[in-house]
C-alpha cells in the first residue's frame, strides 16, 4: 500500500469514531514518556500506548530517539495507537530502506523524511498538540542536540540516521546522526520538560551472538557503548524486548507490538500507582 492510499484509508475511518469514555488517570500529575530507539522494535512502543489508552493514560509531553522520535512526532501530531499500528502494518516499510550507497552511508532515507512530513501534515515541533522533543547527535561538536522547534520531519530524520547505514543530516555547521549514540532513551529530557512521572520505554537488549554483516557490526558497536555508558532517568523503565531482533527486520514488527502490549499489561498497576500517588 502506498502512503497516499494509506492516508485515504485513515481519513475514511476517522470521519466518525465511536468510543467509550473512561476517566483519565492522575489528572493532577504531569505524565511524560521517553521513547527509545531500536528500529523495527519501535512497534513495541505502539503496544505500550495501546494499553495506556485503555486505562485513560495520556502523556502530557514526550521525547524520543531514532524510531522513538517518529513515535513521539506522530503522537504529538494527533495519532493514536491504532493509526500508528495501521501505518506500520500497511505501509511498505521495506521501501524506506532501499540501498543507494554514497560516501556517507548506505541508505539516503529521503523517503523516510517525506513519510514523516506527510503523516504529521507538515507541522513544526512547536505546533504539536503536546510538547515534543527529539534527540540527535552532532558529529562535529560531539554534543547531544535536542530539537524542540523547527521542521519535524528533518529532526526525526536526523534522530534516525544510524551512523554508517543512513546518511547523516547536514544542518548549518552540524552533521547530525542518530541520537542513539549519546541518549537512546531520553528520560532525563522528559523530566526536564516538567514531567512528574516519567515512563521510559527502552528497547535495548543484549546480543552476544557473532555479527554476520556490516549492519550487525555497526549496531553491535553502538549497543556496547549504550549498555556500558548510558543510564535512563525515569520512574518506571519498561523493557519489552527480551530476545534479539534485527534493527531493520520488518517481519518482526507484529511480534514486537505484542511484546510491548504484554510488557505494559504486566506493569500497568505500577504505572497507575505512580500516576495516582
Query: Which residues are identified as catalytic?
Result: 66, 178
Name residues whose C-beta falls within 8 Å of residue 11's C-beta, 6 or more positions apart in sequence: none
* C-alpha span between 7 and 80 (Å, rounded): 14
Distance CA 119, CA 156 (A): 12
Contact 272, 62 (CB under 8 A): no
Number of Cα atoms under 13 Å in the Cβ half of residue 83: 21
Amino acid at each position: 500500500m502506498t502512503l497516499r492510499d494509506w492516508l485515504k484509508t485513515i481519513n475514511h475511518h476517522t470521519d466518525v469514531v465511536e468510543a467509550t469514555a473512561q476517566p483519565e488517570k492522575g489528572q493532577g500529575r504531569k505524565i511524560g514518556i521517553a521513547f527509545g530507539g531500536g528500529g523495527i522494535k519501535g512497534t513495541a512502543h505502539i503496544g505500550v500506548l495501546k494499553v495506556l489508552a485503555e486505562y485513560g493514560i495520556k502523556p502530557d509531553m514526550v521525547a524520543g530517539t531514532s524510531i522513538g522520535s517518529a513515535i513521539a512526532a506522530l503522537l504529538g501530531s494527533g495519532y493514536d495507537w491504532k493509526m500508528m499500528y495501521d501505518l506500520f502494518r500497511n505501509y511498505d516499510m521495506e521501501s524506506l530502506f532501499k540501498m543507494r550507497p554514497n560516501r556517507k552511508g548506505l541508505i539516503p532515507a529521503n523517503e523516510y523524511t517525506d513519510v514523516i512530513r506527510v503523516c504529521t501534515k507538515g507541522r513544526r515541533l512547536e505546533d504539536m498538540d503536546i510538547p515534543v522533543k527529539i534527540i540527535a547527535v552532532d558529529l562535529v561538536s560531539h554534543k547531544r542536540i535536542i530539537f524542540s522547534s523547527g521542521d519535524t520531519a528533518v529532526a526525526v530524520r536526523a534522530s534516525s540516521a544510524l551512523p554508517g547505514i543512513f546518511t547523516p543530516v547536514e544542518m548549518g555547521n552540524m552533521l547530525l546522526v542518530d541520537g542513539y549514540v549519546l541518549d537512546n532513551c531520553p528520560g532525563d529530557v522528559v523530566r526536564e520538560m516538567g514531567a512528574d512521572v516519567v515512563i521510559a520505554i527502552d528497547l535495548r537488549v543484549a546480543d552476544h551472538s557473532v555479527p554476520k554483516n556490516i549492519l550487525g557490526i555497526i549496531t553491535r558497536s553502538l549497543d556496547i557503548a549504550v549498555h556500558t555508558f548510558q543510564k535512563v532517568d525515569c520512574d518506571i523503565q519498561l523493557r519489552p524486548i527480551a530476545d534479539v531482533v534485527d534493527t531493520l527486520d520488518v517481519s518482526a514488527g507484529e511480534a514486537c507490538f505484542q511484546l510491548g502490549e504484554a510488557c505494559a499489561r504486566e506493569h500497568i498497576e505500577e504505572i497507575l500507582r505512580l500516576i495516582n500517588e
